[in-house]
Structures are given as structure tokens and as C-alpha cells.
Structure 1
Amino acid sequence: MSEDRTSVTGQISVVTGAASGIGRASAVLLASRGAHVVALDVNEAGLKAVVDEIKSNGGSASYNLFDLGSEENVRSTIKAIEKEHGRIDSLVNAGGITGPTGKQTEDISWDDFLKPLTIDLFGAIWITQAVMPLMKAKKYGRIVQVVSIAGKEGNPGMSPYNTAKAGLIGYVKGVAKEAAASGVVINSLAPAVIRTAINENTTEDTMKYMISRIPMGRIGESEEVAEMIAFMASPACSFTTGFTFDVSGGRATY
């Protein structure tokens, strides 16, 4: 029987944004495929719930309170995980915020513009910088940065979010080339609009616009995104790096 290269049995998988949405679905799926999941989020109740769910299904998981918007916290958390487990095999960075929606760029204050940049872009850079040396030392690693279709096409009324996600796509492309010969693979994943808590404050007009752009004519589900993430975080994703995968119902075909 051939080896199942999508298996992550025995691996240490770190998942940010794990208390809800795409992060939670990814944590549950990776644990079901054999990983020990370290769930990270600012929402402790949500973290406890996902860890309890994983353990009740026979999986292995733990959690750390975590703030993707704090460089100090990002770096210290990764150090603590490495000290406890000795390595990090995969990172799924699914944490983030949308920031202002339904606003023209000139109507957005700099503070409101900076929040998505800090969490969605700078936080992603900080955590990549923190895990990369650990993975290079082991000559193996998988990094998945959850970006957005907004980073490829742009959504009107969401210029801070568009900017952060487009910047992260560019960051992944360059870093992937730096790490390509080291055994570390880093890719990004651009979902279209997904049924998650991150969209609870998105304006109705913006939601209608985003769904109207999807040829399948519906919103996506977190579990659909998690299936792609589980592949990207596994040994099976071995000859693709620096790429932006899509889970967009046909909105993007490039």
C-alpha cells in the first residue's frame, strides 16, 4: 500500500485564529489527520472549546492565548511552543481582521487603516520570521498564510484589508524563494467570502458585492477551506512554494 503523504501524524501544527472560522476548522481537520495542534487566538473561550472538541474526537491539542498584533507576544509564543515541543512542523496563519468596510479610502482614519495592516500583514511577517529558523534547522516545514481574494482583485470599500492581503501575497512569493532549498515550503491561500465571524460586521452592500462575484453563487464554508489547508500543511505539498491557491467558487481562475 502506498504511503499517505497527506497524513500529518505525529507532527506539531500551530494554527492561529483557531477559536473560530477557518482557523478552527483547520485545527480540527489537522488533528483528525494525526497532528498535535497548538491552537492560538485572543479568544480563550473559543480556544478551550476547539481543544475540547479535538480531544473528544480522540485527537491531541493544546492552546496558548495569542495576539497576532503584538510582535513581542508573537515571538515569545513561538519560543514557548518550540521549548515545549522541540519543533514546529507546520504553521497555519488564519488569524486576522477585516477592518473598515463600506468606506471610501479618504474616509478611513490612519488608525483604522493601520489595524488590519498590523494584524493581517505585520503579524504574518512576525510569525513567519519566528518559525522560519526552527523549520530551516530541521530541514522541513510547511507555512500556510491565509490571505484573501481581496488581495488579488480588491474589494471596494475595504482598502486597508485589500492592502494588507496583497502585501502578504507578495511577501510569501519572495520568502518562498529564499527558503526553497531549505526544505521549507510557504504558500498562501486566497478564499472568497466565507461564512465566518470575521464577516459579522461587514456591511450588507459589501457582502452582496462579494457573493455576486462568485460564479457558484454562494458563500463558502470554513470546512471547504480547511481541506485545502490540510493539503498545503502536509508533506504532500512538496513541489509548490510561493503560490497563491484559491478557494473562491470560481471568482479567481488565475
Structure 2
Amino acid sequence: MTGTRTAVVTGGMSGLGAAAAARLAEDGVKVVTLDLAAGADVRVDVSDAAAVRDAAGRIGPVDILVNSAGVVGPNMPLWKVPLDGWQHTFAVNVGGTFHTCKAFVPGMRERGWGRIVNIASMAGKDGNPNMSPYSASKAAVIALTKSLGKELATSGVLANVIAPAVVETPMNANTDPAALAHITSLIPMGRLGRPEEVAELVSWLASDRVSFSTGAVYDISGGRATY
């Protein structure tokens, strides 16, 4: 494929999304940010399927999709989690990923090239205490990506998922300090990750440099990963 590639980055105005958007721009990619926050190229709630479809129609052909929009959800034991908190966490983290993939994958298949990078979490593998909605939703993102990768395996479109340990982002600034301390203590390097470190992995997974990997889970965890 020749010419400038276009990337859509959800949650592109802060945290991992903003870092990924900046890194892809350095690679010469035209980046379109999707976010509810002011300043986004397209303001959209990714949990709203119709809004995502409408945005995709306005944006046009996309070569790279990075799903970084997400919420932490309730910080409490499962039996105390309110139903709306559970549902909202899944609507954004899983529904948002599903809606954007559904909107943009057909065009990638038609053109025979595409890169999908979904952001999950180590919580989706290990399960963080007092974060069952978040952990379960990120496990769903991992499984969704594994299925999608197999479905697209011979199409020229690759779909992979990143599982970071806790990273210094605005989203985690709102996490319960005790929960944050616990998940930081699990990292052998003894520190939080930095958004730009995750963005380097996004850059690779969004490029021609990755060619024989799809449906794969990439840990970036300071050594935390257990499997």
C-alpha cells in the first residue's frame, strides 16, 4: 500500500489514546481522534452504535483503528457493584470496541490492508480485586480481538490487543488509591508504565513492520505478566 495512511484513535484526547495519536503522527499517519472530550476531531460516544456508524461515514476510508477509549468503572467488591455501573463499563469498553470494529473493518477488508490495535489490560488476564467490571470487560476485549484476528487472518487486515499493567494516565488518577497501590505493587519493575512506552508498541502494531501476528496479546507490564 502506498500513500498516507489514516488512523482513527478512540479516546484520543488523553492518556494512552493521546500518546498513540502523537506517535502515529510522528510515523506520518493522518490521525483522526474520536472522543467525547472537547478538541477531538470527531466528538462521539463510542458506546452509541448509531453515532459511531455516522462518524465512520463522515470520516471515510480508514487504514488503522486504535481502540483506546475506556472507563475504569466502579471500584468496589462485585456484590456491591450497581447494575448501571456494570453495564456502563461494558458499554464503553466492549461495546465501543465492537462498534468501531464493525464500522471500519469492512472497508479495510475491501482494500486488503488494515491494522486494528485494541487496548485491554493486565486486569483482563489476572483480574484486579474490587475492579470486576473493568477486569471482565477487558477480558472480553482480549477474546473479541482473538476471534477477529482469526476471521481476518487471510485478508491483509491484522487485529492485535495490548495488555498494559497500570500506566500513568488521567483515567487512573481517579482509581481508588488502595487499588492503585495494590496493582502497582504487582509490577516487578516497581513503577507505573508511561503512555509513550505503550505508544511505541501501538506504532509497531499499526505498521507494515508487523506481518505474521494477528489475534495476539502483547503484554507491556514491567514484568507483571503471569501467562
TM range (shorter): over 0.9
2:36 counterpart (31, 36, 42): 42
- With over 3 angstroms needed to count, the CA separation of the structure-2 counterparts of 1:25 and 1:9, relative to structure 1, is farther
RMSD, matched Cα: 1.4
SS of residue paired to 1:189: strand
Alignment pair present for 1:232 and 2:210: no
Count of aligned positions = 227
Query: Which has the greater radius of gyration?
Result: 1
2:43 counterpart (61, 65, 68): 65
Contact 2:86 2:133 in 1 (8 A): yes
Q: CA deviation at 1:253?
A: 5.0
Q: CA deviation at 1:168?
A: 1.0
Contact 2:47 2:99 in 1 (8 A): no
1: CA distance, partners of 2:103 / 2:174: 31
- With over 3 angstroms needed to count, the CA separation of the structure-2 counterparts of 1:193 and 1:9, relative to structure 1, is farther
Contact 1:30 1:37 in 2 (8 A): yes
Amino acid at match of 2:56: I
Percentage of identical aligned residues: 41
Alignment pair present for 1:166 and 2:160: no
1:148 counterpart (113, 121, 125): 121
Query: What does 1:202-221 align with in structure 2 at a 5 Å threshold?
Result: 202-221=175-194
SS of residue paired to 1:44: coil
- What TM-score, normalized by structure 2, do the two folds share? 0.97
Q: CA deviation at 1:225?
A: 0.4
Gaps of at least 5 residues in structure 1 are: 1-7, 48-62
Amino acid at match of 1:64: V
1:195 counterpart (165, 168, 193): 168
- What TM-score, normalized by structure 1, do the two folds share? 0.87
Amino acid at match of 2:101: T
Alignment pair present for 1:120 and 2:114: no
Gaps of at least 5 residues in structure 2 are: none
2:220 corresponds to which residue?
A: 247
Q: CA deviation at 1:23?
A: 0.4
